[in-house]
Each structure stands twice: as structure tokens, then as C-alpha cells.
A and B are shown apart, each in its own frame.
Chain A
Amino acid sequence: MKVLSIYLFFLLYLFSSEVSASAAKKPQPKPSTHRLIQAEIPLYLDKTVDNRLEKLITTDLHALAALRIDVQDSQLRSLFELDPLSATSLLGWLSERVRYLVGQAFSLEKNVLLISDDTNGFYEYENPGVFPDEIEESIGGTQAIAERLMLMDGLKEQAAINLGSAVYLSGKYKQVLFGLNVAGKKIAITSPRTGVVKLDSAFNFMGNFMGNFVGDSLDDSSGAMEASVLNSTVSRRAYRLRSLFHEARHSDGHGKSLTFPHAKCPVGHDFEGRPLCDRSRNGSFRIGAEIVKMFLNDCENCDIKQKEILRALYLHDINRVLMEFPVKDNNSEVEMMIQALRSQAGVYQTLIAHELDPVKWRTYKEKLESIETEIKKLEQGLVLRNEATTDWPAAPEGIQ
């Protein structure tokens, strides 16, 4: 009987320990509230950021804090405008530009606010009416800036999007002050530095490579999440931080450099004609590339595969930092000739429209074609000059 009782107790003990173990394995409830976290830097997380993503970001920023950086690198110091340059100062740089994180489920449409403005219904912006040329070229004219807001929200499958800077651009174009309802706060978007960044589906995804790579496991139910966060490969970590720093740069700039927008890639580039390049040497692609390179340079214990992935990430970004780009030659003499030829062409167009005599009509037509060919030649001559790209001023406009 005694033996039986001991056995019974033993079984009950095993049973209770198994129950408590399986309870520990149960999925952790997603936080339904907004929160401020201290992930090396203070970050306000919207309720749309689940606790699994929060853990990834926290561990990524811890890894960045521990990164050994070449503090003597003058190029890096100049790029980030940091002196001294260190992991700590880099984190500070990030925290000035990224303050609020929202998740994939965050709806811009539902959370954008029109904040009260002055009596005329307008908000006075710094550098009024001045926008980067790239925005006009990339999205089809200044009038399209207002639509950029919708465009940004419609962009899916991106790693991250700087919503703060997009809303600021839109407000500046409409001359009204917008706000955002983020992390339980109502924020007035008075500067591109508001730092509201949306982490989209691709933030934790780096290609379905080798058939089993789907980003860091976010499967809480298997209890593997904690381990996967800790074992997160350096390339995945670098990829996520690259995305955060890339977006951080979009929080910078004023006037013509406002938000450091991307520009169309030149003829011959892999992404020719698409708005996937930077005309500034200190833009988002350069910032992201340098973050990846920092991880590469502090990767003594990485295997060769990890290093090659980091190299490819660096090259993929740095290839989009243009060293020069084609510009129209500022040749006033040629421009005057073009103007004169356009006037002549206008005259011939009118004559053609009214001429009934077929012989004269044909003569006018030939003359017009010859003028148009001449105009094209002159215009081509204007476009041929390549201009070296430069660093853009990063100081933000507006009130932070």
C-alpha cells in the first residue's frame, strides 16, 4: 500500500510538472496596449507591434550596443555627423529619428488627424513650396505629393516605411497640419523628425532562401521563439537594423533635401528609370549599407556564408548610391536657341493647320520636322553632362 501511495504521488508530481511546463509553452498573449520600452533607446510601441517583434527589436538593439565600431573612421563620423563615433552615439542618432514604431496592422487612414491650424485654415511651414526635385520626378509632379500619403499606405511587402516623413510631406504640400494617432498619443507632425516608422511584413523576412529561411521564427506555440531570438543570425539582425537606419534617414533634411527621397536610377543601372537610387551620397541607402558593413567588420566569428550574405546586402544598397547623375547643362545660349526654334515651330504648326495648297503644306511640314529634329539634338546636348553627387544637408525643418 505504501509503495502504491509513493507511486501515486510520483505520478501526480510528474503530471503537475508537465502541466506547468505546457502552461509555460502556451502562446504569450499579444499586448493589447501601447507601451514605452527601453530597448537601449526609448521607443513607443503601438499596440499593432506584437511582443514577438518587440523582442526581436530589443535584442537587435542590444547587439548594436555591443558592436565594435571603428571609431577612427572619418567617413563614418562625417556620414552620421557624430563625434565621437561609437555604438552608443549611433543609438542616440537612431533615437532622434525613430521614436514610434507601428506594426503591419496599423492603418494610416484610420489614424491620420487634421490638427487645428490658424484662422485661415493653413499651417505655415518652413521653406514653403520648396520640395526635393526627386519627389516630382519619382511620383509624377508636385501635385502627386498629396497622393503620396495614400501611396505609402498602399505599399505592401516592404521592410519598413517612415510614415512620419510621408505625412509631413503631404501636410506641407496641402499647407495643413496633420497628426497621427500612434501608441495612444496624438502627435502633431510638425517635422519630418517625428519618427513614426511602420514595420511591415518584410521587416523580419529576408528571402525564402535555402528553402527553410522565413526570417526569425515567431512561432510562440512551439516555445522556440526565445531560442530563435537569441540565435538570430548576424545577417538577419543586420538586415533589420539596416531597415531601421534606412528609415531613420528619411526623418532628415529640409527644403530640397527634405526627407532624402529616392531618385530615378540612370540609364544602364540595374533599376534603370525606377525610383530606387539616391542622388545624395549620405542618403538612406548609404546609411543602411554602412550599418551592414559595421556588422561585417565585427563578424570575426561568423561563418563564410553569413559574411557573403552581409557583403551582398552591402553591395545591393551601395549600388544605389549614385556617384554622379545626368543633369541638363545650364547653357543659356543653347536654351535661347531652343526657345527661338520652338517659336518657329509654332508658326509652322499654325500655317500647316490653315494651308490648303498641298505643295505649300508639304513644304511647311518638312520645315517643321527639320526644326523639331534640331530641337531634339540641342536638348540631347544639354542632358549629356554628368554631375557628381554630394552630401545633402541633413538638418531637419520644422519644430520637433
Chain B
Amino acid sequence: MIKKQGSLLLIVVICFFVGAALFVPSFFEATFETSDKSSDTIPGIVTDQKTQSILANEVYLLNQESSNRTDSDNNFSEVDPELFAALEDDELLTRAELARLSFEKILLEAQKTLPTRKQMESLSDAELMHDVPATVVEAAALIGQLKATVDRDEALADEAGSFFLECAKSAQVLTSIRALCLTNLLHLAESHIAVDMVGVSEIPNEVIDLSSRLREGESKN
């Protein structure tokens, strides 16, 4: 009887450990999936202090990267120094300031990512024949994020407009992305009077033509 009870107890213990071994990885897997999903979210307006400090750090690093760059073609504006002064003072940022920080961060990324004609020279005909260069998709995604930020805060429209104008004018940038920038500049101009259109005449015909081909028939959007 004791022997029987002992072996039963042994089975129970084994089953317990087997069960535990199966449950624990599932738990970690579930945790991992959750954190992975959260990392996919588009950065927007954040309010908790922890995220603020991470964001501030990212913006600082981006600014450092930007100032270290020697690309003479890049004549875009840098991050507002007042925002960094605020960060150094460890002040709690307002929602609007955080939105602006997010905007500045995306703007810097977009400026860095704009695909150039020179970059295309390093890609083979085979790569360019049917594929779309990664930088084209990346730049488009960042332009989309920029627009989303402007949608939330119209005060940023002017700065976004300047970015689109510089991008559309830049002879180094790939024509398709210049046309995308021009299309967005025109959309902004149609909805925001504050957009500065000085120098728009410098945009060449091929960029205007391409933009018009996109706008043509895009009425549903």
C-alpha cells in the first residue's frame, strides 16, 4: 500500500515538473509576443516619464548623428536647441512639446533617408529592374509618419512644408521621391495657408509631371 502510494506520488511529481516545463516557455512566449507587438506601434504623443526619457535620448543621439554628418548636400534645419535645453533641465514636457520632439525626430530621419541618384548607382540593373530600393520604401514610410504628426498638430505644417519643398527641389534626390514630396507640399498648401512656397519655381518639369500623374485619378484619397 505504501509502495503503491509512493509510486503514485512519484508520478504526480513527474507530471508536475513536466507541466511546469511546458507552461513556463508558453508564458515567456506570450510575454515576448506582447512586447514585440508594442514595438510595432508608430511613435506618437507619449506622456509617461519613462518613454519621455527614452525619446529624449533618441532625439539627442539623432542630433549628434546629424551634427557629425559631413554631407554637404544636406541643408535642412537642425533640432530646436530650446527643446534640448528643456530636456537638460529635466522638465516634464507638455503634450505639444512631446509631439514636436516626435516630429523633429521623424524629420531628421526622413532627411537622412531620402534616396539619392548616387545611391542607385551602387545597385545592379537586376536589383532595380523589378524591385524597389529599400530607401524608397523607408523614405515613403517616414513621410507618412511626418504627415500623421502634422495631422495631429497643424502648427507643424509650415516646417513640414519646408521639408517637402527642399526635398522636391533637391537634384540629388530620386525623382519619384521628389514627386512624392511635391505632391505632399501641394496637399499641405491646399489645406494650410501657412505653407511657404518660395522657390517652388525651381522644381523641374519632370518632377511636376510625375506628381501630376500621381494626383490624376487619385480622387478617392
Q: How far is the CA of A12 from the CA of B15 in the complex (A)?
A: 7
When the two chains form their complex, are residues A313 and B132 in contact, meaning their CB atoms are under 8 A apart?
A: yes
Q: How far is the CA of A309 from the CA of B148 in the complex (A)?
A: 14
Q: Does A399 contact B (CB under 8 A)?
A: no
Q: Does B62 contact A (CB under 8 A)?
A: no
When the two chains form their complex, are residues A157 and B183 in contact, meaning their CB atoms are under 8 A apart?
A: no
Q: Does A315 contact B (CB under 8 A)?
A: yes
When the two chains form their complex, are residues A296 and B126 in contact, meaning their CB atoms are under 8 A apart?
A: no
Residues of A in contact (CB 8 Å), total 63
When the two chains form their complex, are residues A309 and B144 in contact, meaning their CB atoms are under 8 A apart?
A: yes
Chain B: CB-nearest residue to A8: B12
Chain A: CB-nearest residue to B8: A4
Q: How far is the CA of A206 from the CA of B47 in the complex (A)?
A: 33
Residue in A205, A297, A313, A319 whose beta carbon sits within 8 Å of that of B179 in the complex: A319
Q: How many A-B residue pairs have CB under 8 A?
A: 162
When the two chains form their complex, are residues A304 and B217 in contact, meaning their CB atoms are under 8 A apart?
A: no
- Against A, the Cβ 8 Å flags (1 = close, 0 = not) of B58-85 are 0000000000000000000000000000
When the two chains form their complex, are residues B120 and A308 in contact, meaning their CB atoms are under 8 A apart?
A: no
Q: How far is the CA of A235 from the CA of B40 in the complex (A)?
A: 16
Q: Which residues of A contact B40 (CB under 8 A)?
A: 212
Q: How far is the CA of A78 from the CA of B126 in the complex (A)?
A: 30
Known: A7-B12, A312-B177, A315-B210. A209 touches B137 (CB 8 A): yes
Chain B: CB-nearest residue to A201: B131
Q: Does A305 contact B (CB under 8 A)?
A: yes
- Distance (whole angstroms) from the CB of B126 to the closest CB of chain A: 4
Residue in B19, B130, B140, B176 whose beta carbon sits within 8 Å of that of A309 in the complex: B140
Q: Which residues of A contact B218 (CB under 8 A)?
A: 293, 296-297
Known: A202-B131, A306-B144. A312 touches B137 (CB 8 A): yes
- Against B, the Cβ 8 Å flags (1 = close, 0 = not) of A207-220 are 11110110000000
Q: Which residues of B contact A384 (CB under 8 A)?
A: none
Q: Which residues of A contact B130 (CB under 8 A)?
A: 158-161, 202, 243, 246-247
Residues of B in contact (CB 8 Å), total 55
Q: How far is the CA of A70 from the CA of B217 in the complex (A)?
A: 10
When the two chains form their complex, are residues A271 and B128 in contact, meaning their CB atoms are under 8 A apart?
A: yes
Q: Does B200 contact A (CB under 8 A)?
A: no
User: A329-382: which residues lie under 8 A (CB-CB) from chain B?
Assistant: none
When the two chains form their complex, are residues B214 and A304 in contact, meaning their CB atoms are under 8 A apart?
A: no
Q: How far is the CA of A318 from the CA of B132 in the complex (A)?
A: 12
Q: Does B175 contact A (CB under 8 A)?
A: yes
Q: Does A18 contact B (CB under 8 A)?
A: yes
Q: Which residues of B contact A202 (CB under 8 A)?
A: 130-131
User: A149-180: which residues lie under 8 A (CB-CB) from chain B?
Assistant: 155-161
Chain B: CB-nearest residue to A7: B12
Q: Which residues of B contact A207 (CB under 8 A)?
A: 132-138
Chain A: CB-nearest residue to B33: A224
Q: Which residues of B contact A275 (CB under 8 A)?
A: 125, 129
Q: Does A62 contact B (CB under 8 A)?
A: no
- Distance (whole angstroms) from the CB of A34 to the closest CB of chain B: 25
Q: Does B102 contact A (CB under 8 A)?
A: no
When the two chains form their complex, are residues A315 and B214 in contact, meaning their CB atoms are under 8 A apart?
A: yes
- Distance (whole angstroms) from the CB of A134 to the closest CB of chain B: 13
Known: A270-B175, A318-B210. A297 touches B151 (CB 8 A): no
Chain B: CB-nearest residue to A274: B125
When the two chains form their complex, are residues A312 and B175 in contact, meaning their CB atoms are under 8 A apart?
A: no
- Distance (whole angstroms) from the CB of B136 to the closest CB of chain A: 5
Chain A: CB-nearest residue to B140: A312
Q: Which residues of A contact B221 (CB under 8 A)?
A: 296-297, 299, 307
Chain A: CB-nearest residue to B174: A270
Residue in B15, B18, B125, B141 whose beta carbon sits within 8 Å of that of A209 in the complex: B141
Q: Which residues of A contact B120 (CB under 8 A)?
A: 270-271
Q: Does B111 contact A (CB under 8 A)?
A: no
- Distance (whole angstroms) from the CB of A317 to the closest CB of chain B: 8
Q: Does B2 contact A (CB under 8 A)?
A: no
Q: Which 4 pairs show the lowest CB-CB distances between chains A and B?
A: A207-B134, A305-B144, A312-B140, A308-B144
What is the interface of chain B, defined by CB distance below 8 A to chain A? Answer: 8, 11-12, 15-16, 18-19, 22-23, 26, 39-40, 42, 117, 120, 124-141, 143-145, 147-148, 151, 174-177, 179-180, 183, 206, 209-210, 213-214, 217-218, 220-221
Could you give 17 example pairs across A and B, Cβ below 8 Å? A4-B12, A8-B15, A18-B23, A70-B217, A158-B129, A207-B133, A209-B137, A235-B137, A239-B132, A246-B130, A297-B217, A308-B143, A312-B132, A313-B140, A315-B177, A315-B180, A315-B210
